[in-house]
Amino acid sequence: MNRILITEDNSRISSFLETGLQASGYTTLVIETAKEAIELAHGDDFDLLILDLGLPDQDGLNVLATVRGQGETLPIIVLTARDGLDDTVQGLEGGADDYITKPFQFEELLARVRCSFAIVLSPAPSKKRDCTAADSRWICSLVRCGWTIAKSSYLPVSFCWWKC
């Protein structure tokens, strides 16, 4: 069972998230502070962090910087009221794997949660070899989940998108 850490200080929103995610088969824990998020994001206790940026003790961007700075690879979905382009870019470049603005549709959040788990469970292609059929499936899962694949050293020149 996938475990999701929800960092949200608004009790109405956190209750909505917790209820919906548990009904969808996920195990959840709700916390309200950045300090708790930083402490609990370490190790293997959780498979995903849903993070609000407007937390009472410090900015959620500080959580991102701290967690990523300590080498944690836990997928992080930012769920916030900050809807400006600069905010989104700052969140994604700061280490978020996805960024959703409030108000949001639960179905969209749930789809992004499922995609986060699909990406985590799939091995990334190796930089030391050409892509195989399995790598093509991994890349295609990213595309289906709305990710944009930039030209990278992961892909050989001969990679064909029609393999999806």
Mind listing the domains of the chain with CATH numbers?
A: 3-121 (3.40.50.2300), 133-163 (no CATH)
Query: Which helix (H) or strand (E) segment is 11 a member of?
Result: helix 11-23
Res 145 pLDDT > 70 = no
The one-letter amino acid at 28: T
Burial 126-152 (b: 16+ CB within 10 A, else e): eeeeebeeebbebbebbeeeeeeeeee
Global pTM value: 0.74
How many C-beta atoms surround the C-beta of residue 20 within 10 A?
16
Query: What would the pLDDT profile of 111-130 be if each residue is shown by its tens digit?
Result: 999 988 876 554 544 444 44
DSSP classification of residue 59: B
User: Contact at 8 Å (CB) between 117 and 2?
Assistant: yes
**pLDDT, greater one: 151 or 50:** 50
